[in-house]
Chains A and B, each alone.
Chain A
């Protein structure tokens, strides 16, 4: 651990969705091991603004506590960087050593176009949720909450799937840029709950159809997604999703596997 490390940074710069991008090199002194990774980039940007030679690096973030899913960059080839179960905003500089070169680039996927530098547009995820990532219940018509008992084990499984933060690291890490883990997490949350049953067929068919329409690739079991997921969402959920999809396809006879 050190309190004035010097870092070499290779950062992807891209002006807009249709401009070509390229890596640029930067050097930064006095990096403290207590800083978060994004705070390190903040310090770089303050320096760039003061120097006035080029625009600061754009990256997106909000909560900086690893829960909103806004941030996310590929650090040295790994989505969210080298520490497991850690979103970019919770990665700290104590993970790196004085003199290290760090390569920083955006999520890469056709379905996530670059807006600027390290910022990508993940609205495809919203459209997948729109296709069925909910229980269709209007406000005001619910029965007493304890009238639907749900065993702790099932409730916990549902929760662990529901913990997905929608950051898109799974897509960035997948060689096929598949969104299967993201979609499976939502399908699986409801597959474990009685509330999710009435719409199970429709949900599985529509969400998966939308995932394909957005241009995400297929899942071929690389499990890279699970490895980078900041919430540790298990690929077992993908098995649940396949089961739900198969059931749905058999029921309607409409879909192909």
Chain B
């Protein structure tokens, strides 16, 4: 058992409905309270974030008759990070007649998550996946199609069926524009009020219940208060703690983290996903990493030279001196093993000195064989935009030279803890999409984040919110003028004034990069007790350095990107510590959380179900080093936990 001295609080109750996993959602819907149409317009829902989760929730709730106020950081809701998703969205349609089913999608997701997800949520996700595709097609989302007019599918990692729907390499864009359109239609109808250029800096809790938010208007610098009957946090993941990641530059943890500090428990913060196929780092000035979609592994073959230190260009390495290591080690899944497995294997071959490219931190993803088998035209049809993007960034043509790829931080499975209703531990505060922890366990399968974001927003929260609101006395907009709001605004103003007054010598980006590197080195692809203990010493020091020596130019009276980033980095410096602590406390390997001390003889993740079959939800106590741990025990009644095998 752990040597860490962690205080444990009461276990968490997820409010799961009764019945067999396949009946729970129907039973739940049959039993919930609903708000009658005439009463819906008395309630105001604040939707924070307009990515897939937020835009779909805002549209659906407004259609039902609720008043919605929707907020986003950018100049338009259409810019949300979801726009960048490339490869596709899963759904158990079984259009390919290849044996897919709700059950199989459920099974794959629970297994893919390495048995650290909540079965009943995952089953519901698989159930509603089917309606998502119907909804999106009805909205005019131009998915890829066959000549006969039917929808086309591709395969993604961790599955042996083709259930991924896509729109070239721009699936996220098309899905988001669909949800954004649906939301804008409600803006036109007067049911959604849209607030762009707004960053949520705090949650206002009154009598233990979420009652509103404080926003900073990024254009004018003013702090604004908004009151509502429920707050839906749809603010995405926290992958940017690592500085370099595939996330958009403005993705951040601030909204979720500040809710955490107001009482929402943060679950499984150490479950982060490293994506195996990204364009490798090229220099210190680098600001982000670019993903090459997992869909490329449908047709690209991953390899490195058999010999360590072989620096010949790829075309000079003969076939029998290449190691197609994924095909060799995992014959039944081959290049389509789940992400955590693919990433770790890439790291392992590079650690053996077999990495390619200048830095030796890359492996090849080779399309030569596919181009020969399928013809250039087919490969172009499938991936051209990705190939072009690769060429723009690296200056190399992947039709001729194999791509060089390396793993990068991509997604965060952890997030605010939510119950079956997607409600956090603060009544009235819900978390949707990547911001919650609910469905992916310790590893997310490709094409399942888009599915989850839209499931939460279109088909889950519209039901579960009714159960919360029914019978509740509606909050008036004027409540935002109340004492509680004034006080929170004062605290935020204090923080902003403090940041600007430090006038130190180091830029926000310098300090941020330093944190990011530490996180990557010690809380990244593989973790050790020693490394985690070390970083737990270092983060608080860096935090102190930040608060004493950061230099933020300009003022708070208007647009100031450095100030925006500074307040986000301040939160990363706190969340990073919790991530390391969670990683240290979980003395097992599972999914994306790989502790070197816990591996099988073959180097695969070794879970410890007896001790760690739970979601770890952390409560903030005012002292970052001493959070209280609440466990939600996980029960697997349907998919029996086993050592994952993709052999």
Contact = CB atoms under 8 A, between A and B. Distances in A.
Contact of A67 (B83, B139, B144): B83
Given A62-B249, A145-B133, A155 B551 contact: no
A183 to B, nearest CB: 14
A25 to B, nearest CB: 19
A55 B509 contact: no
B545 interface: no
A145 B137 contact: yes
B184 A69 contact: no
Interface stretch (A132-140, A170-178, A211-219, A240-248): A132-140
Contacts of B393: 36, 90, 92
A159 B507 contact: no
Interface string B136-147: 111110111111
A189 interface: yes
Nearest to A66: B389
Interface size range of chain B in the complex: 35 or more
B249 A61 contact: yes
Interface stretch (B284-292, B308-316, B347-355): B284-292
Contact of A49 (B143, B287, B562): B562
Given A49-B553, A143-B134, A189 B285 contact: no
Given A49-B507, A134-B181, A140 B138 contact: no
A195 interface: yes
Nearest to B138: A142
B173 interface: yes
Interface stretch (A37-45, A97-105, A220-228, A249-257): A37-45
Interface in B284-306: 285-288, 290-291
A155 B142 contact: yes
A130 B458 CA distance: 20
B137 A63 contact: no
A38 B149 contact: no
A158 B140 CA distance: 9
A28 B196 CA distance: 34
B140 A195 contact: yes
A130 B194 CA distance: 11
A48 B561 CA distance: 14
B84 interface: yes
Interface in A58-106: 58, 60-70, 83, 85-86, 90, 92, 94
Nearest to A134: B181
A131 B412 CA distance: 36
A163 B148 contact: no
A123 B184 CA distance: 12
B145 A151 contact: yes
B282 A34 contact: yes
Interface string B244-263: 00001110000000000000
Contacts of B510: 46
Contacts of B146: 152
B283 A32 contact: yes
Nearest to A157: B142
A114 to B, nearest CB: 10
B249 A166 contact: no
Interface string B222-252: 0000000000000000000000000011100
A146 B139 CA distance: 13
A159 B74 contact: no
A60 B134 contact: no
Given A34-B282, A134-B182, A136-B185, A70 B75 contact: yes
B526 to A, nearest CB: 27
A83 B554 CA distance: 33
Contacts of A64: 248-249, 287-288, 290
A46 to B, nearest CB: 6
A165 B75 CA distance: 13
- Chain A at the B interface: mostly helix, strand, loop or mixed? loop
B167 interface: yes
B149 A129 contact: no
A142 B185 CA distance: 17
Interface string B49-86: 00000001001100100000000001111111101100
Contacts of B285: 32, 35, 39-40, 42-43
**A52, A62, A143: most-surrounded residue (chain B CB, <10 A):** A62
B131 interface: yes
B283 A35 contact: yes
Given A63-B83, A63-B248, A134-B182, A58 B60 contact: no
Contacts of A151: 145, 147, 149
A20 interface: no
B187 interface: yes
Contacts of B148: 149
Contacts of B134: 142-145
A40 B287 CA distance: 10
Nearest to B93: A145
Given A58-B561, A155-B145, A42 B184 contact: no
A135 B181 contact: yes
Given A130-B188, A152-B147, A159-B142, A139 B248 contact: no
Given A55-B554, A94-B395, A133-B184, A195 B167 contact: no
Contacts of B551: 49-50, 52
Contacts of A66: 389, 392
B170 interface: yes
Nearest to A155: B145
B138 A149 contact: no
B142 A162 contact: yes
A115 B135 contact: no
Interface of B: 56, 59-60, 63, 74-81, 83-84, 93, 95, 131, 133-140, 142-151, 167-168, 170, 173-174, 177-178, 180-182, 184-185, 187-188, 194, 196, 219, 248-250, 282-283, 285-288, 290-291, 388-389, 392-393, 395, 458-459, 462, 507, 509-510, 551, 553-554, 558-562
Pick the 7 closest A-B CB pairs, nearest first: A149-B149, A134-B181, A142-B138, A159-B142, A142-B134, A145-B137, A139-B60
14 contacts: A43-B285, A64-B290, A67-B170, A70-B74, A92-B392, A115-B558, A115-B559, A132-B188, A140-B459, A141-B138, A145-B93, A151-B149, A155-B142, A155-B144
Given A137-B182, A150-B149, A189-B142, 9 more contacts: A125-B76, A137-B138, A142-B135, A143-B134, A145-B136, A155-B144, A159-B144, A163-B168, A190-B140
